[in-house]
Amino acid sequence: MTQHFIVIGNPIDHSKSPDIHRVFAAQTDLDIIYQRQYCPDDNASFVAVVEAFFNGGGIGANITVPFKQIAYAYCQAHGSLSKHAEVAGAVNTLLLKDNALYGDNTDGQGLVNHLLSMGWPLHDARVAIVGAGGAARGVILPLIQAGIGQLTIANRTLIKAKTLINELTLASDEINQHSITTCASAELTGEFDLIINATSTGLSGDNLLLSPELSAHYAYDMMYGRPLPFLQHFDARGAQTTDGYGMLIGQAALSFERWTGQHIDVLQASDTLKQAAK
């Protein structure tokens, strides 16, 4: 029996999700149709699209910009949320559970799984995250659950980093019990095991203002698909670096598993996608 899935966004034509999930389907011998779904940027349109899809027999939906917070609010009011979605304040995965919408957020665990698949050490690691927006918010709890040691949140405006941590410590006891420091991005100094760029500077090509007294063994940019100044900066300083393409596949694999119960070999899927792109 064919299972139907969609990804909802605006814009949406650029989404790689259909290609990724077709590879997952082939790996698991499932018959699926996965389509991009454009939606006007307003709450009523989003609710109408979601309700029509699931009332019509849809199995699962991915949610992307600009609807993750709207999906969160809808599930909060009319369904239920995973702990990761509650803490992130955003939903990227929708499915039906007990005849009601269930919202999950797989972004952060997708990042963690990518890091672990590369053998990058997380246990007791000294980690810095640059950025205090939604991307950072979604990965902090999964990183803490992975056993990191010290965590520093750096942002261009310090007050935004402080506000983020205050909100997250109220949202999760696991975060509340973990020591987190904050600073302005330009004042981030010292040596870290891992530094993560959770800002969108890679999309514009702008450079982050980073201190020359900042170093890291591993550097990760959550953006992908183009040369990234953040990674070039740490490449030149001898760090191991990677972009967020593996996170994209990782979060998609977790969504697919939530919907179908089928485990995905992410490394195999990634190799298949890379070969197809050549």
In this structure, which amino acid lies at residue 149?
G
CA pair distance 153, 140, nearest whole angstrom: 10
Residue 30: burial class (beta carbons within 10 Å; 0-12, 13-18, 19+) = middle
What are the backbone angles phi and psi of residue 32, rounded to the nearest 5°?
A: -130, 155
Give the DSSP H or E segment for 220: strand 214-221
CB atoms under 10 Å from CB of 124, counted, come to 10
Cis peptide before 142 (omega within 30 of 0): no
CA distances from 104 to 7, 125, 144, 207 (A): 14, 26, 18, 32
Instruction: Determine which one of 68, 160, 162, 278 is catalytic.
Output: 68
Q: Are 132 and 161 in contact (CB under 8 A)?
A: yes
User: Is residue 16 annotated as a catalytic residue, yes or no?
Assistant: no
Of residues 71, 128, 39, the one with CA closest to residue 255: 71
Q: Which helix (H) or strand (E) holds 241?
A: strand 240-242
Q: Which residues are catalytic?
A: 68
